[in-house]
Amino acid sequence: MGAYLQNYGAGEDRRNRVVKFLILGVLTAVVLAIVAYFFFHNRSEEKTVEHFLAQVNAHDYKDAYVTWGCTEASPCRNYDFGRFLEDWGPKTKATSPWKIASVEGCRSFVTVNVKADGAELQSLGVERGARTVSYAPSPECQERKWHWKQFFQRIFNHSSS
E strand segments, 9-161: 99-105, 109-115, 122-127, 134-135
**What pTM value is reported for the model?**
0.72
Closest alpha carbon to 124 in 115, 89, 38: 115
Instruction: Identify the pLDDT of residue 160.
Output: 44
pLDDT tens for 27-70 read 999 999 988 888 888 899 999 999 999 999 999 999 999 999 99
42-156 sits in which CATH class?
alpha beta
pLDDT tens for 126-137 read 998 888 999 998
